[in-house]
Amino acid sequence: MKTLRLKGQPNPKQQAFFLSTAPHTAYGGARGGGKSWAMRRKLVLLALRYPGLQELLLRRTLPELQENHVRPLMAELSGAVKYHQTQRCFLFPNGSRIKLGYCDQEKDVYQYQGQEYDVIGMEEATHFTESQMTFLTTCNRSVRTDFRTDFSPRMYYTCNPGGPGHEWVKRLFIDRRYRDGERPEDYAFIPARLTDNTVLMERDPAYLRTLQRLPEHLRRAYLDGDWDVLSGRYFPEFSRQRHVVEPFPLPTWWRRFRAMDWGYRDPCCVLWVAVSPEGQLVVYRELYVTETLSSQVARKVRELSLGEKIAYTVASPDAWQQRGLPGAEGDCIADVFARNGVPLLPADNRRVHGWQRLREALALQADGQPGLVIFPQCTELLRTLPLLTYDEHDHEDVSDGCEDHAPEALRYAVMSRHPKAVEPERKAPPAYDPFAPPRLQNEGFTSL
């Protein structure tokens, strides 16, 4: 068998990536930082060092996997490491294995259920959703006892700003905001810039000029590795400073309505919206639940709306899908809501047109104010709206990989009929009539 000779010298940032033993290590930021090479080389070095190591290397789609990893690894390891094309894995003479996979659809991640990998590499991690990442962590385990004590299961990530996984990567590795069970010491981030990749800078100096010519938001993300600029790239109009307002008392005569995106396993989101006399939409309340029966959701909606006059409630069209036997009475979600005192109307579900209507509502109007504002207690809407990204096949639409349940409800809201609020006329006091007898008791007069 051919002796394996690995070519290439890591730059200081790549070397830091190689040396990291944290349970979760992310490497990246700007484009052109040599991330793919670093990920491949890291897994190969681990496979060579630890006999019998089980590794999984993932890209989101099969074409990306083939071009970025299968072909380069075959060229690099040819003759020294056996490649099984049907299993899509490299088998090392010492028993280590690198399996290559992809998760094009959200559900594809379940093909790894029950499998164990000592090391998992997620290449372009921001292309994966948080639920996919969370599921993969359950596969990152080892029951081996023959490794040296300095080894433990770990995950490696390479990433650029943007994509459906932007927020979870930014939360864990950039903002370092952790939830229960997540420990700060388990997460390491190694920033990479194009200028760190001296090989690319020497071979293709024009690439730097290409990134410098990009529009500002793309240049800041791809050249500078700015993780804030792409958070709201489908809706660059959205600004927390402009669109999030402190709660204020809503006049009772303002028109109010609700919009719902139904889901059981997926989240169900209900938004309450008021319309000002100027036509501004004020999203003042939300309900965001999962695995909750439609009857329970309806009763909660009615409870939260006590004392309010709600003009109508629009809901996603799937609320009218038959859930039981054909022709059976009352077996759709809309029927259940109606029986529980919340009648529904089908929402206008035109996606592209709806997103454009929402874009117009977010823009500044003639009075200098945005056409839509949101109360801060609508946390799920404020969390997910800035994360919407373009569909890579249709840039007029939102990507299917985004968590869009609350934004969908908002889209239904702006597509509904919501005329401006009109303050009811107040009856003017009667004019003074000098010939009318005085109302002594009411006017405070005394009798003569």
Give the pLDDT confidence of 210-268 residue by residue, as tens digits.
877 777 667 777 777 777 666 547 887 888 888 999 999 999 999 999 999 999 988 99
CB 421 within 8 A of CB 275: yes
pLDDT band at 444 (very low <50, low <70, confident <90, very high): very low
Structure tokens given for 184: 């700060």
Q: Hunting for tokens 């999203």 — which residue is that?
A: 283
Q: How far apart are CA 58 and CA 371, in angstroms?
A: 42
Confidence of residue 279 (pLDDT cuts 50, 70, 90): very high
Query: CATH class for domain 12-222?
Result: alpha beta
**DSSP secondary structure, 289-343, as one string:** ESS--HHHHHHHHHHHTTT--EEEEEE-GGGGS--SSTT-TT-SHHHHHHHTT--
DSSP string for residues in 224-266:
T--SSTTTTSS-TT--HHHHB----PPPTTSEEEEEEE--SSS
Every domain of the chain with CATH number 3.40.50.300 lies at 12-222
The token duo for 274 is 């008021």
- CB-hemisphere CA count at 13 Å for 407? 29
Residue type (1 letter), 69: H
**Does residue 327 register a pLDDT over 50?**
no
The arrangement of secondary structure in 240-415, i.e. its CATH architecture, is 2-Layer Sandwich (3.30)
pLDDT in tens, 140-199: 988 666 655 567 899 999 998 878 888 899 889 988 889 888 999 999 999 888 777 776
pLDDT at 219: 75
Q: Tell me: the pLDDT tens digits for 66-80?
A: 998 999 999 989 888
Task: Say yes or no to pLDDT of 270 above 60.
Answer: yes
pLDDT tens by residue, 71-126? 999 998 988 899 998 999 999 999 999 999 999 888 899 999 989 999 999 999 99
| Choice between 417 and 95, residue whose per-residue pLDDT is larger | 95
∠ Cα 89 94 98 (to 5°): 20
Instruction: Give the DSSP H/E element, type plus range, for residue 345.
Output: strand 345-346
Q: Which residue has the tokens 């970025």?
A: 68
Enter the tokens of residue 193.
């810039």
- Which residues of the chain form CATH 3.30.420.280? 240-415
User: What is the model's pTM?
Assistant: 0.55
- Here the tokens at position 347 are 């929402």
HSE-CB at 357 with a 13 A cutoff on CA atoms is 19
Q: Which pLDDT tens digit goes with each residue over 378-414?
A: 999 988 888 788 887 787 898 887 889 999 999 999 9
Is the Cβ–Cβ distance between 39 and 156 less than 8 Å? yes
Integer-rounded Cα Rg, in Å, for the chain is 29
